[in-house]
Structure 1
């Protein structure tokens, strides 16, 4: 494993010590970084019955694309998501090994890769239980060339160890609720911010207002009376909002809101 940096052993020790703590994803990525250089990372849990669940990120550009678009809609076009759904075996993969030739012309490529600035990606697929597969997406920006064969060979040698660490930490992970970024304080303020920003890249102000009242337990007639509009108009706004967010029911809306609240970026409160 000649491509490991001298810091690999302390980094591994920190990752092991962080198992079952919120610090684990960051610590494990620091260990991975001793064998493979990357600029930013995204860690998600994929399952067959739920939308992706957020576990960790260190995105540096257009981070809102992840929370307001990818996690609710465009994830279906992600080659790594598609690979997991098709039964791809756990392991280390290059994005170029998965996507078709026309991928760079797709809406997903333009909407995620070009917005985040990623030029290349290495993915680590880790099956942690019968329901959930954890995927590490390691992005490279312009300053890093494509991963070298020696880097990939080293990472693939480490892959059984990485799989075991992921199993220890995420073995009981369900496919429903996301993990929170650190330092989440002031619950009331965060809930208000989550209501105000729910779907803010996709919904109109009126649609967001109506979904807030739905989440607070109000029926269409009550919402119409509050807002001074007809019940039918409320239902039409609600239907359009559900379509934009790819929701089928009020239960889907509630789960989406919980995940939005949990993963809300603290920086947006400034």
Structure 2
């Protein structure tokens, strides 16, 4: 995954994000009006940000970019992502701690909505994976799916290898897609909310950008070390409005040791 910008900088990926940001700025400046992200002349947040991050991910994972004509598909995926997230609770999912609750009150704990949203997202990935399997070429790696398929084919003789399968590829895709559809967009939505609510902070953010970057270009990761106030503002928003306030519950799957202490199976 490092070939596509994970754990390292990727000029190709950064250029893709920059083009998407520029596209958003064009919309804000009135050069184009997208009905899916505007209502009564106002941008719908966080819907407004969804296309930029989904496009960067889709290019890395599936090799395609989504045009603005694909807004219906983008909107559909975003709705599924938020539907999945809203079916959980503040702890990350009570059913992860007490799974037997799904038999008592499945509607109360979001299990039905979760399965519906999850199933439709799986269908989206399955369609793209099927297309890749039909057009796969060992000599031309187009994206992450192709690289995964190559690894999967190299292990076909190992009947006990369960790490490289189509099912596992879908799980990897979901693990990457859900934060892109929900966490990042929701965090940016809260950031906009607090910048509007506290205009003096907004002015300081703008001043730092003007001093370090100027108004003739977009900021890059090279500018990040010189933008401490903006970094602090983002982190403060994430502190005030965490997406999962109580964190994701964890449970020990097997007996083990941590720093010399015995941790029995099923410990919370």
TM-score (norm 1): 0.25
Which structure has the bigger radius of gyration? 2
Q: TM-score, normalised by structure 2?
A: 0.25
Q: 1 or 2, which has the higher helix percentage?
A: 2
